[in-house]
Amino acid sequence: MPKNVFRFSCPCCGKEVEVDTRSGKARAVDPNEKKGKDFETLVTEQHQASERFDSMFDSARRDQERQKNQLERLFEDAAEKAKHDEDKRPSNPFDLE
C-alpha cells in the first residue's frame, strides 16, 4: 500500500474506506462483499422469476373472471326477481326517516 493511501473502518457502515491523499479521492471498500454472479445464472434467475410472475398474473386474472361471472349472475338473478315483483315499489332510503 502506497504511503499516500490510508485505510480505516467507517464507524457508520463498517466498510473499509481508502483515502488517497495525493488525489484527494476516497472510496469505500468492503472486503467481505460478494462477487457478482455470471451472466448465464442471472438470465436463468430472471427467466424463472418471469415465469413465476406470469403464473401469478394468470391466477389473478382467472380469479377476477370468476368473480366477474359470479357478480353478473347475481345481478341477473336480482333483475329477474325485480321483474316478478313489479307491483312492489323499491325501497327509498329517504323514506326510512
Whether 17 and 30 have beta carbons less than 8 Å apart is answered as: no
Among 45, 4, 38, CA closest to 21: 4
* DSSP secondary structure, 30-46, as one string: -TTPPPPPPHHHHHHHH
Q: Is 93 inside a domain boundary?
A: no
pTM confidence score: 0.47
For residue 25, is it within any domain?
Answer: yes
Q: Is residue 47 part of a domain?
A: no
Residue 86 confidence (pLDDT) above 80: no
- Number of domains composing the chain: 1
Kindly tell me the sign of the dihedral angle through the C-alpha atoms of 72, 74, 80, 83.
negative
- pLDDT digit string, tens, across residues 16-51: 888 888 888 887 777 666 677 889 999 999 999 999
Measured distance CA(6)–CA(80) in Å, rounded: 84
pLDDT level of residue 73 (50, 70, 90 thresholds) = very high
Does residue 22 belong to any structural domain of this protein? yes
